[in-house]
Chains A and B, each alone.
Chain A
């Protein structure tokens, strides 16, 4: 009797772990771009090498951003961004660890677009802050597209804008996240 229950229990545990593996969706080519609108200049940068993982069962989400991966139009801006603002030698990665707050409302088995709220901890320049952002999850043909647009304040992350370029760089930066996630077959 005990052995039979043990076998059934083991089977259930194995099944549960197996299900977890299938619930992970990921990408290594996620896109993040940010945009600064200031009195004298607009600055934009794009990163297409973002790693992102979503656990569709729990709604847990994690991002890893190579800070040197942001591509700028102007060479000098690229240098200033890395050397002075985000100090990418010291803090090579930005990351986000969070959760899709209303994950239960998303039906990952059915094609559709869902509005979601993502909550978590964002770390940039060595500083971690709680963030909350609206987003969309689009389930399409076995893939999950997760996107979000939100703002951050550079001063919240100890990134200081020198007075001399205050009219060229805004303290409030618009961030756009766009990822196409595929099932992880580990």
Chain B
């Protein structure tokens, strides 16, 4: 049984790498932010999880600390994904109403000239 553990670790590493590759490919290919968000959210639980479990086969200390990392990522990944989706939805609503974008177009908020240096309007 103990001789099988390195092979189990290999299988878990390959599984995690396959899921991470699918996730990166999804973010590369999806045309929409929401769909690429869907692809990116897979990487957290199904991609990092098998890698951490494969590392935890080596010893109990690594297993405990790895479960700490995995628990933290499982708690925080939906929150950040929800924040990104909410910001995108709000930007779409703002564009539909025809309000000016406070972020100076669709890219970074790089100050361009006099207008770009103004502080963006605070909105609720």
A binds B: no
Residues of B within 8 A of A (CB): none
Residues of A within 8 A of B (CB): none
